[in-house]
Copies of this chain bind each other. A is one copy, B any other.
Amino acid sequence: MVFKSAGNFYQKHKQVILYGVSLAVLLFVLKWIELRFLIIDHIIEVYSGAIALVFTGLGVWLAMKLTTPKVERIIVEKEVYVTADADFTPNETERLRLGISGRELEVLQLVAEGLSNQEIASRLFVSLNTVKTHSSRIFEKLEVKSRIQAVERARRLRLIP
């Protein structure tokens, strides 16, 4: 975690750090050359340079510590289409009139969700044949010939949402 952050920081400010290090090395070399001759005379410059470096670092640290991170907030609105049939109430009357049993309605609902007969069988823990039997009866009672027509008709009759 710490290493990762450090690496991240390094990556982000590579140039600055390299620049700083290079500068420091350069100054060090130059100073070292002159050091034995000039250190006495230029003690103040060396001292000032050190202070400058340290306090530049302090300034950077301060800024990092104290400024709230700049955050650009981009809000992307993603449209989700929803049909507003929250107020659906199943038409029990129609169901009884057509003689559609509870289990058949269950199957019908799953058909309407786009499930295959096999998927419906698994969902209801019954065999594929059972589902086929149910759906066949549904088609008879709704007087249709395919599952799509059944769904269409059941929707019109408010049997399913």
Contact = CB atoms under 8 A, between A and B. Distances in A.
Interface residues of A, number: 58
Interface stretch (A28-36, A98-106, A124-132, A150-158): A150-158
A158 B158 CA distance: 20
A88 to B, nearest CB: 11
Interface string A46-79: 0110011111111111111011111111111111
A149 interface: yes
Contact of A72 (B73, B83, B155): B73
A15 B69 CA distance: 14
Contact of A12 (B68, B76, B77): B68
Contacts of A2: none
Given A48-B51, A73-B72, A78 B78 contact: yes
Given A52-B51, A77-B80, A80-B82, A67 B152 contact: no
Interface of A: 12-13, 15-16, 19, 44, 47-48, 51-64, 66-85, 111-114, 116, 144, 146-149, 151-152, 155-158
